[in-house]
C-alpha cells in the first residue's frame, strides 16, 4: 500500500506502461521524466501498468522499469492509487500512457472520478485526439486543411473500401489504425493488394482504420503548451531517414534529421503556429500537445496530419526539443505542465462545485 504520510511537497504520481502496443515507448518516456523531476520540489510515486492491466509500484531504479512490471511483487491497484491520491492534498498524476487504454480518455476519466489533478488533455480532448478518424471529421467541420482520407471499419467489405479509397485518393496511400500512435501499424501502400494487406495489419490494433493520401511535402511539427491561453513553440522540421517518419526513426535509431527551428519564413512560422493553436482549441486539448503538419510549398500549404496529446519525452523526441529551442528547459517544461494541471483542476472543481 502507498504511504499516506506525504504532506510537505507537491505529490507526483508518474503513471507509465499500459496495455497498448506503445507500452515500451511509455517505459522509455517515463524513465526520462523521472530523471528530470526535481526531488526537492516533488514527492514522487511511480506506478507502472503491465501489458495485462496489473498496477505495480516500482522503485527508483530507472534502468529496468519494464522488468519491474513483470518481476515486482509490489502489486497495487487503480483503486488503491486513487484512494490515496484523493486523500493527499496537492497531488498531480502525470499519465505517460501512450495509445489506447491511457491516452484515449480512459485513465483521464478514472482520475476525474477520483477528483485528482492530472497533466494533459481531459477526457473529451484525449478521446478525440486518440481517434484520428473522429479528429479528422472535426477538423473538416472547422475548415482546417488536411490530407484527404477514407475511414474503414473492420466489418466493411475490404474490396469495396479499397475501391472507394483508390477512386478518392489515388496511389500511393498510407494505411493506419485509427486509434494508435508512434507510427505503430502504419504502412505505405503502392498497390491495391498492398492496401488490403495493410488494412489486415491495421485491424490488428483497432476496428477502425484510415486510408490517407500520400503527401509529397515537408514534415513540420509544433509543440503547444497551456490551457485557455496556450502558446506555440518554434516549429521544427523532420527529415526522415526512411521513406516516412516511422517507429524505428522515432525511438530506436535516432536516424531522422531534426531541423529546429524549421527553415520557414517569419510569415510561414506565424501561420503554422496560429494553425497549431487553433487546432489545439478546436480539438479541446489542455496542457500539452504536439501537432504535426505536412507542408506543400507549391500546393495547399500547411495540412494538419494529427495531434498527439501525450507526445514522447525521450531525448530524441520533438516536443521537449521544440520547447528547449523556445527557451523552456526539460525540467521547466515539467514544472509548467504540473502547474497547468493544478490550475485546470482547481477551475473544474470550482465550475462543478466539487
Structural domain boundaries in the chain: 10-118, 148-213, 215-328
**251 classed as catalytic:** yes
Cα dihedral across residues 325, 329, 334, 340: positive or negative: negative
Query: What is the CATH code for 148-213?
Result: 3.30.1490.20
**48 classed as catalytic:** no
Active-site hit among 306, 317, 335, 344: 306
* Mean pLDDT score, 61-80: 65
**22 classed as catalytic:** yes
Among 14, 117, 123, which residue's Cα sits nearest to residue 345? Answer: 117
Q: Quick one: pLDDT at residue 248? A: 52
Number of H helices, E strands in the chain: 12, 16
Which of 94-108, 149-163, 204-218, 249-263 is the least confident region?
A: 249-263
Please determine, for residue 83, whether its predicted confidence score (pLDDT) is greater than 50: yes
* Mean pLDDT score, 306-334: 93
- At 86-112, the pLDDT tens digits run 777 789 999 999 888 889 999 999 999
pTM, whole model, 2 decimals? Answer: 0.89
**312 classed as catalytic:** yes
Q: Quick one: pLDDT at residue 253? A: 46
**205 classed as catalytic:** no
Active-site hit among 26, 126, 179, 182: 182
- At 183-207, the pLDDT tens digits run 778 999 999 999 999 999 999 989 9
Active-site hit among 249, 290, 305, 335: 290
Active-site hit among 19, 22, 103, 221: 22
Q: Quick one: pLDDT at residue 6? A: 44
Please determine, for residue 267, whether its predicted confidence score (pLDDT) is greater than 60: yes
Q: Quick one: pLDDT at residue 3? A: 45
**306 classed as catalytic:** yes
Confidence band of 289 (pLDDT split at 50, 70, 90) = very high
Q: Quick one: pLDDT at residue 100? A: 83
Neighbour-count burial for 261-294, b at 16+ CB within 10 Å, e otherwise: ebebeeebbebbbebbbebbebbbbbbbbbbbbb
- At 215-253, the pLDDT tens digits run 989 999 999 999 999 999 999 999 987 665 555 555 444
- Residues 254/182, Cβ–Cβ less than 8 Å: no
CA gap 90, 273 in Å, rounded: 33
Neighbour-count burial for 209-244, b at 16+ CB within 10 Å, e otherwise: bbbbbbbebbbbbbbbbbeeebebbbbbbbeeeeee
**308 classed as catalytic:** yes
Instruction: Please give the residue that has the higher pLDDT: either 175 or 83.
Output: 175
Which of 80-84, 154-158, 329-333 is the least confident region?
A: 80-84
Give me the percent of the chain exceeding a pLDDT of 90.
66
Average pLDDT for the chain? 88
Q: Quick one: pLDDT at residue 235? A: 98
Active-site hit among 120, 125, 217, 312: 312
Query: What is the CATH code for 10-118?
Result: 3.40.50.20
Tally the C-alpha atoms within 13 A of residue 336's C-alpha that lie toward its C-beta: 18
- At 335-345, the pLDDT tens digits run 999 999 999 99
**296 classed as catalytic:** no
CA gap 94, 109 in Å, rounded: 14
Confidence band of 5 (pLDDT split at 50, 70, 90) = very low
Report the CATH fold assignment for 215-328: D-amino Acid Aminotransferase; Chain A, domain 1 (3.30.470)
Confidence band of 325 (pLDDT split at 50, 70, 90) = very high
Confidence band of 63 (pLDDT split at 50, 70, 90) = low
Amino acid at each position: 500500500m502507498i504511504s499516506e504520510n506525504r504532506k510537505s511537497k507537491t505529490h507526483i504520481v508518474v503513471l507509465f506502461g499500459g496495455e497498448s502496443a506503445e507500452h515500451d515507448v511509455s517505459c522509455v518516456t517515463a524513465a526520462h521524466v523521472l530523471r528530470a523531476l526535481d526531488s526537492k520540489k516533488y514527492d514522487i510515486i511511480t506506478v507502472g501498468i503491465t501489458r495485462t492491466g496489473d498496477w505495480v509500484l516500482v522503485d527508483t531504479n530507472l534502468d529496468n522499469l519494464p522488468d519491474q512490471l513483470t518481476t515486482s511483487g509490489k502489486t497495487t491497484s487503480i483503486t488503491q492509487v486513487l484512494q490515496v491520491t484523493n486523500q493527499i492534498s496537492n497531488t498531480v498524476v502525470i499519465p505517460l500512457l501512450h495509445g489506447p487504454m491511457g491516452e484515449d480518455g480512459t485513465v483521464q476519466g478514472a482520475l476525474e472520478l477520483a477528483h485528482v489533478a492530472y497533466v494533459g488533455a481531459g477526457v473529451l480532448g484525449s478521446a478525440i485526439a486518440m481517434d484520428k478518424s473522429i479528429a479528422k471529421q472535426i477538423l473538416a467541420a472547422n475548415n482546417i486543411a488536411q490530407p484527404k482520407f477514407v475511414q474503414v471499419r473492420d466489418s466493411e467489405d475490404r474490396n469495396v473500401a479499397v475501391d472507394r479509397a483508390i477512386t478518392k485518393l489515388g496511389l500511393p496511400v498510407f494505411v493506419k489504425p485509427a486509434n494508435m500512435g508512434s507510427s505503430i501499424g502504419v504502412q505505405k501502400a503502392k498497390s491495391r493488394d498492398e492496401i488490403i494487406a495493410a488494412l489486415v495489419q491495421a485491424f490488428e490494433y483497432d476496428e477502425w482504420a484510415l486510408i490517407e493520401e500520400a503527401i509529397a511535402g515537408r514534415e513540420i511539427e509544433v509543440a503547444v503548451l497551456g490551457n485557455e491561453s496556450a502558446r506555440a513553440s518554434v516549429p521544427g522540421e523532420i527529415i526522415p531517414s526512411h521513406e516516412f517518419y516511422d517507429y524505428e526513426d522515432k525511438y530506436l535509431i535516432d536516424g531522422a534529421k531534426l531541423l529546429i527551428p524549421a527553415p520557414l519564413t517569419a510569415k510561414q512560422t506565424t501561420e503554422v503556429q496560429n494553425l497549431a493553436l487553433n487546432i489545439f482549441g478546436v480539438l479541446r486539448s489542455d496542457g500539452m500537445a504536439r501537432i504535426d503538419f505536412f507542408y506543400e510549398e507549391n500546393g495547399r500549404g500547411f495540412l494538419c496530419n494529427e495531434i498527439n496529446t501525450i507526445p514522447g519525452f525521450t531525448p530524441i523526441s520533438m516536443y521537449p526539443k521544440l520547447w528547449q529551442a523556445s527557451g523552456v528547459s526539460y525540467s521547466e517544461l515539467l514544472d509548467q505542465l504540473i502547474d497547468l494541471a493544478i490550475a485546470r483542476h482547481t477551475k473544474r472543481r470550482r465550475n462543478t462545485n466539487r
